[in-house]
Amino acid sequence: MPQDHSVVRLEDYQPTPYQIDRVSMAFRLDPMQTEITTTLRMAPRQGSNNSQALKLQGDEINLIGARLNGSALDASHYEATPDSFVLHKPPQETFILEFVTRVAPDNNTQLMGLYRSSGTYCTQCEAEGFRRITYFYDRPDVLSVYEVRIEAPKDVPYLLANGNLIDSGDMDTPEGFDTAQAWHYAVWQDPFPKPSYLFAMVAGDLARVEDHFITRSGRNVALHIYVEHGKEDRVAYAMDSLKRSMKWDEDVFDREYDLDIFMILAVSDFNMGAMENKGLNIFNDKYVLAKPDTATDTDYALIEAVIAHEYFHNWTGNRITCRDWFQLCLKEGLTVFRDQEFSSDMRSRPVKRISDVRQLRARQFPEDSGPLAHPVRPEAYSEINNFYTATVYEKGAELCRMLKTLIGDDGFKDGLDLYFKRFDGQAVTIEDFLASFEEACSVNLTQFSQWYRQAGTPNLVATYTYDAARGQMSLTIEQSCPPTPGQPTKKLMQIPVRFGLVARDGSSATFSGIRDAKSGSLIGGSDCTLLTLTNREHTYIFEGVSTDALPSLARGFSAPIHLRTNLTLEDQLILVRHDTDPFNRWEATQFVLMDHLIRQTRANQSSSIAVDQPVNAALIEALKTCLLDDSLEHAFRAQLLQVPSEADIAREIGKNVNPDAIHAARESLRQELAKALGTTLVELYQSLQDGGAFQPDSASAGRRALRNGLLDLILAAGEGTAKGIATAHYNEASNMTDRFAALAAMTLNRSTAADALLTDFHDRYADDALVIDKWLSLQASSPQEGTIGKVKTLMDHPSFSMSNPNRVRALIGAFAMNNPIQFNRKDGEGFKLVADIILTLDRSNPQTAARLANNFRSWKVLEASRQTSAERELRRIANTEVLSKDVADIVNRCLQ
């Protein structure tokens, strides 16, 4: 078994005994031996016990020298290892501690700390990368003001760091370097105290695209985006998104930018999506670069969202940061909520909500119901890198949304304003955050705070009856939350349930008031739209109901829950036709489709020659009506056409899952739908023909989404004439969205023309890594029998590289995440392939290897023989002699 991995616990939190208020750093850059001089101004923290030694963290640090108050430290006064520096008797008043360290950026394959990507020096410090540069209190509650000097040969023209540029110029070539090479330097100063995880330094020969933004108080902020030479023509959308984000944060949250300059660097080697370093965001280039013939509408929407997200961190994360990493959701949940709101304002709010909920259900729900389940604010971790999860980010955002629902828009604004005012410049906790709302709105959030502490997705069961004679509807809702690792029993939650009534005949239904059945007290009048659950069970009596009506519950997905109701299929079809809440209208469609899919899957599983069940005729009619309803947005109609994913079906079934039976059920449903909708699909498809130049706006993207969704369904009915339509769609496409959609539809629907088009696609875009990523992902996602062999072949393809996380995610990540039938193969070959890659990758990039290992999280819901294969591979990984803490943590938790 691997080494003992120490666990960090929330309850053990202690402030550091010393503060570091100033940090000066000087980087002398070299690919193999960059020398870094770090000067720390330190002092004992008031009120702390300072008899203890001073212990700073390191990670593979190569220490060249250490000085205290200007004098070299005698070896007897300290103890330095690659992982820590201990000063035995630190002074009891302000002192200066200085380190000289050396790192080799070119050998840094972990992409944490200082490394090079395509020749550009860059850093990644969150969560614990700064300690790979120098010894430090590398934790978020130590806030310091930084001044950074960068020295480099002049063939590295741009030298950047956080804050404002205060000095730059030529310098003598340092000793030991080629004197023929001229050198220069730059000095940056960041006036805002920040934790080390927000430190950034960049140096490279790059192209710079410039713009500016005038803040509402009239300050002119320079905006610079740095990309590789030749990619300047792909920055316009990112720059536009940045300016819109800055304006929106002023308008909606009263947050103004605070430095003279805001910079973004796009790099091709990056473990995550992007990083919000103060004033100098560093991005995975996937979330910056876009032009119509290389990026899809999805890419454009992601760029807009990620640019906004990182920018919004300037206030939610940077100005106010986390006290410790247990509070990660404090910055991430809130910032995801803010970027979701931004995208909703820029695009279609209902469609954004549907896609966010799809994502939550696809990524967070399986996490919450499996061995990796953890609270939004975890209480213990052994490797913090493994807690950058869907639970912390996306469920964390849902908690902010619920808070807003519970206290109202104005209350939410007041609470946040107080939070910004009170905690600016501090490192705080979830309790501090919630206290701001309690105080500003005079509410008690004690029960609500359980959402941060308890893992698991709560179940709500709602039962309604309608009494025509008395004009009353009775609605009983019961809550429960399943056990999760370490939390066998759960406390009751406060759950907001938005609702409305929908008359069976489609007319509007009204009521005069709502009473609590037990106490008889009035809960709301005729305008009430929100029920707040606090007990195990509530029964509500709706009085004066005007007509026979149905409840439409959890409108807009008002809480991250599983909802079961006694609504029948016929009732759901009424919601499909008449619900005025677009989210629930979509949800009802999904319900009816899911009902069919589960029955078909069970039939497939119990018989080798299962008969295809007929699709509900009323659903076909309702879908037809919606598809042709021009009052509905194109993008919304595209969502209605999307059948629940195989992962959705597996989650609903919950145990003894057979991915082959699910795949077959979904395929047959799509085929039946396509046949039944027949000419409606083709005629609508033809009416949406592309016209004019590509525009990335929401309405144009929606039209393309509907047209491409129609094409996909048309192909599901069988090749016939569809092959000609799809081939023309591919060849005549004027943008990547349409071309790739045709290629994907043909590949995933196993068209006979797919192979030739895959070759054509590769040849067209061979030099464009981000486009080739799509090509890799698509082939890895193919449900065909030969996909494993194909993935292995593609690993030898010149465009694939194990050292680039984007390539690994595109090929291997897509296989494990988007290809349930091949990853979960009965013969275990899918698990084996991914396990082999995890073990190889773990030696160079443990963080990316651990992310891949996450894909094993749902192995326990599979049917027995597949469980055995998955467990065998997990044990093989766990028993490997040398294993990173990152991978060991995920695998051991999966096995528990």
C-beta of 76: minimal distance to Zn ion in Å? 44
Residue carrying structure tokens 């008359």: 503
318 or 479: whose CB is closer to Zn ion?
318
Q: How far apart are CA 824 and CA 890, in angstroms?
A: 18
C-beta of 277: minimal distance to Zn ion in Å? 11
Write the interaction track for Zn ion spanning residues 128-157; mark x where CB under 5 A is met and - where it is not.
------------------------------
Query: Which stretch of DSSP H or E encloses residue 480?
Result: strand 472-480
Q: How many CB atoms lie within 10 A of CB 734?
A: 14
Phi and psi for 803 in degrees, rounded to 5?
A: -85, -10
SS3 assignment for 398-451:
HHHHHHHHHHHHHHHHHHHHHHHHHHCCCEECHHHHHHHHHHHHCCCCCCCCHH
Q: How far apart are CA 104 and CA 151, in angstroms?
A: 16
Cβ contacts of 663 within 8 Å, gap of 6 or more: 646, 783, 820, 821
* Catalytic residue selected from 310, 332, 398, 871: 310
| CB-based burial label for 256 (10 Å; 0-12, 13-18, 19+) | middle
197 or 685: whose CB is closer to Zn ion?
197
- Cβ 581 vs Cβ 504: under 8 Å: no
C-beta of 354: minimal distance to Zn ion in Å? 23
Q: How many CB atoms lie within 10 A of CB 215?
A: 14
Ramachandran area for residue 654 (φ above 0: left; ψ -120 to 50: alpha; else beta): left
- Cβ 803 vs Cβ 845: under 8 Å: yes
289 or 334: whose CB is closer to Zn ion?
334
How many angstroms separate the Cα of 629 from the Cα of each of 624, 633, 634, 690?
9, 9, 9, 20
Residue carrying structure tokens 């490394």: 115
C-beta of 317: minimal distance to Zn ion in Å? 7
If you compute the radius of gyration of the chain from its CA atoms, what whole number of angstroms results? 28
331 or 404: whose CB is closer to Zn ion?
331
- Cβ 93 vs Cβ 43: under 8 Å: yes
Q: H-type helices in 157-285, by residue range?
A: 236-253
In degrees, to the nearest 5, what angle opens at C-alpha 326 toward C-alphas 320 and 327?
25
276 or 368: whose CB is closer to Zn ion?
276
C-beta of 64: minimal distance to Zn ion in Å? 35
Q: How far apart are CA 823 and CA 781, in angstroms?
A: 10
274 or 682: whose CB is closer to Zn ion?
274
277 or 824: whose CB is closer to Zn ion?
277
Q: What 8-state DSSP symbol labels residue 282?
A: E
Q: How far apart are CA 729 and CA 721, in angstroms?
A: 13
Cβ contacts of 172 within 8 Å, gap of 6 or more: 183
**Within 178-237, which residues bind Zn ion (CB under 5 A)?**
none
| Total residues interacting with Zn ion, rule: CB under 5 A | 2
Q: How far apart are CA 145 and CA 163, in angstroms?
A: 10
335 or 855: whose CB is closer to Zn ion?
335
- Residue 310 annotated in active site: yes
Cβ contacts of 393 within 8 Å, gap of 6 or more: 329, 332, 333, 336
CA atoms within 13 A on the CB side of 81: 4
C-beta of 332: minimal distance to Zn ion in Å? 5
The total number of residues shown for the chain amounts to 896
- Cβ 833 vs Cβ 795: under 8 Å: no
Residue carrying structure tokens 């980087």: 27
Residue carrying structure tokens 């009856």: 465
Residue carrying structure tokens 């009816």: 592
- Cβ 299 vs Cβ 237: under 8 Å: no
111 or 567: whose CB is closer to Zn ion?
111
127 or 870: whose CB is closer to Zn ion?
127
**Within 326-385, which residues bind Zn ion (CB under 5 A)?**
332, 335
Indicate the pairing of strand 459-467 with strand 472-480: antiparallel
Q: Comparing C-alpha atoms, which of 40, 26, 38 is closest to residue 159?
A: 26
281 or 884: whose CB is closer to Zn ion?
281
Q: How far apart are CA 451 and CA 449, in angstroms?
A: 5
257 or 694: whose CB is closer to Zn ion?
257
Q: How far apart are CA 434 and CA 399, in angstroms?
A: 11
**Within 308-337, which residues bind Zn ion (CB under 5 A)?**
332, 335
C-beta of 403: minimal distance to Zn ion in Å? 19
Phi and psi for 802 in degrees, rounded to 5?
A: -70, -20
276 or 581: whose CB is closer to Zn ion?
276
Q: How far apart are CA 365 and CA 651, in angstroms?
A: 8
Q: How far apart are CA 688 and CA 677, in angstroms?
A: 17
C-beta of 175: minimal distance to Zn ion in Å? 42
In degrees, to the nearest 5, what angle opens at C-alpha 784 toward C-alphas 782 and 787?
70
Query: Which residues participate in catalysis according to the annotation?
Result: 310
Site residues (vs Zn ion, CB under 5 A): 332, 335
